[in-house]
Structure 1
Amino acid sequence: MSGQNKTASRGGNRGGRRARKTRHLDNEGIIPILARAVREIENEAQRGKVSPHARTRFQVVALLVREERARIKEDAEATEATKAEQFKRLDGVATILAKTAARDTTLLMLLDEGAEISEAARTMKRKMVEAAGLEFVDESEPDQPTVDVPGRERRVVPQSVVSRQLANPFQRPDFESAARRIEPKTHRLSTWELIGPLLRAFEIGNGSPAVLDMPEPTSLTTRDGQQMMLHQAKLVASVQAGHRTFLLADEPGLGKTAQALLAAQAADAFPMLCVVPNVVKTNWAREAQRWVPRHTATVIHGDGHDINGFADIVIVNYEVLDRHVGWLGDLGFKSMVVDEAHFIKNRKSQRSQHVLEIADRIRQRTVRPLMMALTGTPLINDIEDFTSIWQFLGWIDEKKPLPELMARLEETGFTPEDKAFYPAARRAVIEMGIVRRRKVDVAADIPARRIADIPVELDDEAGRSIRAAERELARRLVERYDRVMSARAPENQSSGIDDELVRRVAEWERDETSDDNSGENVFTMIRRIGTAKAPLAADYAAQLARSVGKVVVFAKHVDVMDTCEKVFADRGIGYASIRGNQTPSVREKNIDAFVNDPDVEVVVCSLTAAGVGLNLQVSSNVVLAELSWTDAEQTQAIDRVHRIGQDMPVTAWRIIAAQTIDTRIAELIDSKAGLAARALDGSEEEVTASADIQIEAMVALLTGALAQRQR
């Protein structure tokens, strides 16, 4: 049998299918099905708004491309030439998916790990697999040793973990604080709903930073001779004093990874589980080798065939956590760290549920495990982003504070009816373990940073087209507003602008996916603005590179990155690229080129793929070619440069299209920064409503159009 035919017959059950018979590579199998489907999606996107059916197909194609790529990679019998040809064809499908998503950025939400897969998507996936002549196999069918949990998804147990379990059939009981049982001294709050008031306490703020009182360290030197900064040593001293739960919300770049590893060492809390984004799991292994070299670390890739089951530190990324939930919950971890913990803010998402499940099982086995949530941006859009993190730490459940926090609240002597409850409750939660330090406060060796806006005029045909599209969107919003207003009874009609109706119209417009309207929406407009700004952003970056040295450019969309890179190539400027579709080895090679090669003057980075986990402090200038939807994402990008090791002032140059909705979005992003400042940094700055920026942008557009009509 040729390598080609062996590949077709070896489908296995990865991705929910098994090959029935051999098939010719060029015109049979799953890849031609995917190619035809993605072309149809692309054609629809080019005509206008993507229909719900095409959105479902987009998600299914993306899932099948991912699964087929993994199947080919693991096919030991296929020749390298066969694999290369198959990968090339899959890359073609993936490229069209990326271009389509760049055209309609709402499709990107379907690629998120926490995105819901509807029953319609499952049915479509089955039909496409069967149309390819493959047998669709239930994804719960095991092909590896499994944890026998009825009704759960397929879960693997790596052989080395089985060996560890057999070598240690009985875990040593944890008698520490076994008699510890926290009972509130009173029960005045037992009938109160408290989660809302606790969140309100942080939304109000009280002028003081959210920092746990921590003891002064006796030394800044670790047991292995590494030097800590004072703020890092204080957290370690707190662990040595017995504290065991932390929301470590230090600003990005202050060494949260090192603090977590050293905290585990101080608490003797090994084995340790680290749940991290995929892009930083290799960096976690390197940091473990640096800060706690006496403890072995292992990284889980895929099904974990190559991991060291006896390691002290187990590092796993969110994307494969579902396969390993079973054994991770049973291994006997004494500590658990969740990096970029804002990833679990949606408690309904699969990754959040898996993280919370493992955390609960760790607490069942260990009386007082070390639990740490790390995030420089704990609040993305809403104060409620806190709740899933608090639940992971064991401070609350879905409905109420748990005993330790409840006891602290009872000790305040107040109820939510009392004004004094809110600052006291905020302090009570902080003392559970919130630690938020800013660079300006604790790291004098890190220079200040600033954001400088560079307005650009889009006075060409693209600019005129964008302004026309804005007018069209405003007209459509006004028409919808007028239809609702005219349907009201005369006595309910307002002569002025009905702000509540304006907001509802904006929400309807953002959420609308089922009509036949092919006009502009806020997502496509932002993409078009980004495309129009791209040559100007690249030109500015090129000028910076010539005058001040290395420059980091961030963009959201593939076509914007492509345009910037073409400008640099045309001008003979050496550049590297960091994108989401790169392999780890390519990514590391490009980072190394930018950091170490003097001829590589610019690195072009994806906001989503390169916004976390990178150290690019060789540069002190960042160009934001496109705006993010959140201040948190913008901050994460800037902090790839503004972090420990930086010895120059950092400037982020934000390219903004004047006289377009781009300007309003920049204002909204800046106003949203006040939420985290007020909740965590003690700022007295007024906080705008924590609604989605997309909605706020359309509210502004509609309000402006209505106001202009009334003049």
Structure 2
Amino acid sequence: MARAGQRRDGARRTAGRGGHRPRNGDLVAELARAVRDVEAAAKRNRVTPTVRATFQAVALLLREERARVRTAAVSDSHRTEQLKRLEGLATIMATTAVRDAGLLALLADEAVPSEAARRIAKEMKRDLGVEVEEEPEPEPVAVAPVEATRRVVPQSVAARQLANPFLAPDYDAGAAQRGPRPGRLAGWELMGPLLASFERAGGGAPACMPLPFPTQRFTPAGLELMPHQGQLVAAVAEGHRSFLLADEPGLGKTAQALLAAEAAMAYPLLVVVPNVVKTNWAREAALWTPHRPATVVQGDGDTVDGFADIVVVNYEVLDRHRGWLEEFGFRGMVVDEAHFIKNVTSQRSQHVLALSAGLRVRTAKPLLMALTGTPLINDVDDFRAIWRFLGWVDETKPLAQLTECLEATGYVPADREFYEAARRCVVDMGIVRRRKVDVAADIPARRIADLPVELDGAVGRSIRAAERELAQRMVAQYRSAMSYRDVVDDELDMDLVRRVAKSELKDAMTRQTGENVFSMMRRIGLAKAELAADYAAQLARSAGKVVFFAKHIAVMDAAEASFEKAGVRFSSIRGDQTPSVRQKEVDAFVNDPGVQVAVCSLTAAGVGLNLQVASNVVLAELSWTDAEQTQAIDRSHRIGQTEPVTAWRIIAAQTIDSRIAELIGSKAGLAARALDGSDEEVAATGDVQLEALVALLVDALRAETA
């Protein structure tokens, strides 16, 4: 105990005084040493509560010193020099904070200093001989009650509740919630190794649980499932109840989910989907389960049928309907495009996880299905929320069933064999992943073709000048941070490069003026709009219908104006349309031979739509992820397509656009390795936005020294 106490005291002294005695009472030098200690801890991922308190203490003293220097009776040159030193420290703190959300929150103006931070700040002042004023006890502050989220109960739902007043939970459900029995793995941290087991995958280890051969028919007369679809339904019929259905886009996940509910008799069934596909889900339900009435929740739910077997609701209105959804008595829940819930701190994720947890408490063996063709966007950590929804893990550890499987392997995370065995345990919990090339060989191949275009004239020069301005702003931040380091090294500090890029990316999300990576991509998109529309019009005249994707509304507007000028009829599919208007536009493109082009929002129309009448896709703007790009292309490359699909990417040469095109391709490796058993090397898990800024900064720094 004495030794542990000595370590804690030593840590506090080191954190509070930077590990050195101050020299000549120089507060800025003392702060610089403390900042370097925090920076080193962040690099090692050792951000302890003491480190956070030190970080906040430095932030407090930095603000005080900046205010003092600005009003001090000193020469202008001395004031300028001190302010420059303080600004350099602030830059290092900001780039360090990007590594850790806890540190980032401490830099906010509204962050309340902790007692530990105040104590460390006082100690640093006392060590420097600065008089410390005792602070009065703060006055208690009355906290106003937080306004509750507006909740609604549709009239038809209230009528159903009155008609079924004795709807009771299944008390046997509690058995599924029991904690794991202590065993060999007690005391081991398991979530990290479980996620790592998918990063280490490869060598022909696809992520698909064993599936039985279908022996029963659950389809209505006149409809047949493909063999791979029937296998999943057969697994439900044999008793399996939780699935991450991660089939590649276009392999009919909607039909599988609806017929899985039929096989499990999981009614009423709750289906949570993106807004753009609500109407399509209702149509699919009418097709595959016509004897099961389906209702779609719109707005406050005035048109909801409270006696329906299938309730379809979009993520955006879950907050106001969550109350009655929790009490409705669902026996199954499907989450479509489940990668939407990967951020567990978002409201939609919290609503989905709460509904799932309540369902598992009330119902023994509910049907839980997460549908997504792209479960991994940037990192294997994207699995966490989906596994929680399915009841395989909680916030910190695997739950009983998965833990028992891990115990049965006989390994612990220190064993090399643990990772392959652990991955198999998770897969057998219900991961189902099939590729088109394996189960739907009759779907023609697809390819991606890049079409570089030159942005000439004033527009092109302006875009390239903006890119140089962005690069030089990051170079200045990098040089400023390096100037406060004791060691001069001509080699690039790639860790600092990434932190500067992260800081720039964070600023870009809030900055209202000046060029940033997002405004530049929008400008590049606008500059390409007419060129991309001209190419799409040529394709439509020579090869038939074309799907045209853009990310920004202004780019869609410019393309549609170009189509009108060229006399090309088009449908417009956007995120601000009501489901009925959107479906009308889809139907016009699919059914009217005169409608040659579908102008689609990359985010709003990239999921849930069947546009296989077209075999050519034009991507006027690039996505930020390979997953989003794949989803868009697979609106055409799916079951029902009879021709090879070509996606034409319009790329602005000699701009950041071409960098992003290269990076998107490198991001495909993670899903291929983690889910498909590929031996492909996995690219860094940072997102494309960050990697593009890193590349831009590295090129600018190397150009300076060339």
**SS at the partner of 1:512?**
helix
The partner residue of 1:603 within 572, 588, 598 is 598
Q: In structure 2, do the counterparts of structure 1 residues 261 and 518 end up closer, same or farther at CA, with 3 Å as the change threshold? A: closer
Given residue 393 of structure 1, which amino acid in structure 2 is its aligned partner?
Answer: L
Q: Could you tell me which residue of structure 2 aligns to residue 426 of structure 1?
A: 423
Alpha-carbon distance between aligned partners in 1 of 2:174 and 2:698, rounded to the nearest angstrom: 61
In the alignment, which residue of structure 2 is the partner of 1:165?
161
Counterpart for residue 201 of structure 1: 197
Q: Shift of the alpha carbon at 1:394?
A: 0.3
The code of the aligned residue for 2:535 comes to: Y
Q: Distance in 1 between matches of 2:218 and 2:512?
A: 63
Aligned equivalent of 1:188, options 184, 188, 191: 184
Deviation at 1:206, TM superposition (A): 2.9
Candidates 342, 349, 353, aligned match of 1:352? 349
Q: Equivalent residue for 2:15?
A: none
- Paired residues of 1:220 and 1:228 also in contact (CA < 8 A): no
Q: How far apart, in 2, do the equivalents of 1:514 and 1:530 lie?
A: 18
1:300 aligns with 2:297: yes
1:479 to 457, 471, 476: 476
The residue that corresponds to 2:284 in the other structure is 287
Identify if the C-alpha distance between structure 1 residues 183 and 565 changes in structure 2 by more than 3 Å, giving closer, same or farther: closer
Aligned residue identity for 2:161: Q
Structure 2 residue corresponding to 1:232, chosen from 229, 249, 252: 229
Q: Are 1:658 and 2:653 an aligned pair? A: yes
2:577 is aligned to: 582
Is the CA contact (8 Å cut-off) linking 1:224 and 1:291 kept in structure 2? no
One-letter amino acid of the counterpart of residue 218, structure 1: T
Cα 1:434–1:514 shift into 2, 3 Å: closer
Secondary structure, in 3 states, of the residue corresponding to 2:589? helix
1:182 and 1:327, CA in 2 relative to 1: closer, same or farther beyond 3 A? closer
Question: If the length of structure 1 is used for normalisation, what is the TM-score?
Answer: 0.77
1:185 and 1:410 in contact (8 A); partners too: no
Counterparts of 2:176 and 2:618, CA distance in 1: 53
Partner of 1:561: 556
Stretch of structure 1 that moved more, 578-587 or 537-546: 578-587
Partner-residue secondary structure (3-state), 1:604: strand
Q: Residues 209 and 507 from structure 1, CA distance in 2 versus in 1: closer, same or farther, beyond 3 angstroms?
A: same
Normalised TM-score (structure 2): 0.77
Question: Does the 8 A contact of 1:185 with 1:411 survive in 2?
Answer: no
Q: Against the structure 1 CA distance between its residues 120 and 640, is the aligned structure 2 distance closer, same or farther, given a 3 Å change threshold?
A: farther
* TM superposition shift of 1:558: 1.6
The residue aligned with 1:463 is 460
Distance 1:412 1:545, change over 3 A: same
- Matches for 1:225-624 after TM superposition, within 5 Å: 225-489=222-486, 491=487, 493-512=488-507, 518-624=513-619
Question: Distance in 2 between the 1:514 and 1:284 partners?
Answer: 34
Aligned equivalent of 1:697: 692
The question of whether the paired residues in 1 share the 8 Å contact of 2:508 and 2:516 is answered with no
* Secondary structure in structure 2 of the residue aligned to 1:651: strand
Instruction: Give, in angstroms, the shift of residue 174 of structure 1.
Output: 3.8
More deviation in 244-253 or 456-465? 456-465
Query: Does the 8 Å CA contact 1:478/1:706 hold for their aligned counterparts?
Result: yes
Instruction: Tell whether the 8 Å contact from 2:278 to 2:314 is kept in structure 1 after alignment.
Output: yes
Q: Deviations over 1:572-602 (max 9, x none)?
A: 1112211122233332222222112222111
Deviations 1:420-467 (A, max 9, x none): 111111110000000011111111221111111111111222112111
- The one-letter amino acid paired with 1:615 is N
Structure 2 stretches lacking a partner, 5+ long: 1-104, 111-143
- The corresponding residue for 1:646 is 641
Q: Which has the larger radius of gyration?
A: 2
**2: CA distance between counterparts of 1:516 and 1:554?**
27
Name the CA distance, whole Å, in 2 between partners of 1:416 and 1:230.
37
Counterpart CA distance in 2 for 1:632 and 1:514 is 22
Q: Structure 1 CA distance, aligned partners of 2:396 and 2:272?
A: 25
Deviation at 1:382, TM superposition (A): 1.7
**Letter of the aligned partner of 2:193 in structure 1?**
P
Say which SS state the counterpart of residue 665 (structure 1) adopts.
helix
Distance change >3 Å, CA 180–CA 314, structure 1 → 2: closer
Contact 1:257-1:287 at 8 Å conserved across structures: yes
Q: Is the 8 A contact 2:251 2:639 kept in 1?
A: yes
State the 1:293 CA deviation.
1.3
- In the alignment, the residues of structure 1 paired with residue 228 and residue 147 of structure 2 have an alpha-carbon distance, to the nearest angstrom, of 46
Residue 681 of structure 1 is matched in structure 2 by: 676
Query: 1:370 and 1:640, CA in 2 relative to 1: closer, same or farther beyond 3 A?
Result: same
Say how many residue pairs are matched.
Answer: 566
- Could you say if the C-alpha distance between residues 297 and 498 of structure 1 is closer, same or farther in structure 2, counting changes exceeding 3 Å? same
Structure 1 gaps, min length 5: 1-115, 122-139, 142-149
For 1:421 and 1:604, the matched residues in 2 are separated by: 49
Q: Which amino acid aligns with 2:562?
A: V
Amino acid at match of 1:257: T
Question: Partner amino acid for 1:608?
Answer: T
Structure 2 equivalent of residue 631 of structure 1: 626
Task: Give 1:179 shift.
Answer: 6.6
C-alpha deviation, 1:152, in angstroms = 4.6
Match of 2:219 among 213, 216, 222: 222
Aligned to 1:111: none
| Contact 2:548-2:620 at 8 Å conserved across structures | yes
Distance in 2, Cα, partners of 1:282 & 1:340: 15
**1:417 and 1:554, CA in 2 relative to 1: closer, same or farther beyond 3 A?**
same
In structure 2, the CA distance between the partners of 1:516 and 1:560, relative to structure 1 (3 Å rule), is closer
2:95 maps to none
Which AA in structure 1 matches 2:507?
A: E
| Separation in 1, partners of 2:596, 2:375 | 33
Counterpart in the other structure of 2:4: none
Q: CA deviation at 1:541?
A: 0.8
Q: Name the SS of the counterpart of 2:618 in structure 1.
A: strand
Q: 1:665 to 1:563 in 2, by over 3 A?
A: same
In 1, Cα distance between equivalents of 2:402 and 2:523: 49
Whether contact under 8 Å (1:339, 1:375) holds in the other structure is yes
Q: 1:689 to 1:179 in 2, by over 3 A?
A: closer
Deviation at 1:675, TM superposition (A): 1.0
Moved beyond 4 Å, runs of 4+: 175-186, 513-518
Closer, same or farther: CA 515–625 of 1 in aligned 2, 3 Å: closer
Who is 2:39 aligned against?
none
Partners of 2:171 and 2:362 within 8 A in 1: no
Contact 2:276–2:575, Cα closer than 8 Å, also in 1: no
**Aligned residue type for 1:155:** R
Deviations 1:460-508 (A, max 9, x none): 221121111111111111111111111211x2x3211110111011011
What is the CA deviation profile of residues 160-204 of structure 1, one whole-angstrom value per residue up to 9, with x for unaligned ones? 222222222223664778877878676111211111111111111
Question: Which of 130, 152, 156 is residue 152 of structure 2 equivalent to?
Answer: 156
Q: Cα offset for 1:377?
A: 0.9
Identical residues among aligned pairs (%) = 66
> What letter corresponds to residue 319 of structure 1 in structure 2?
E
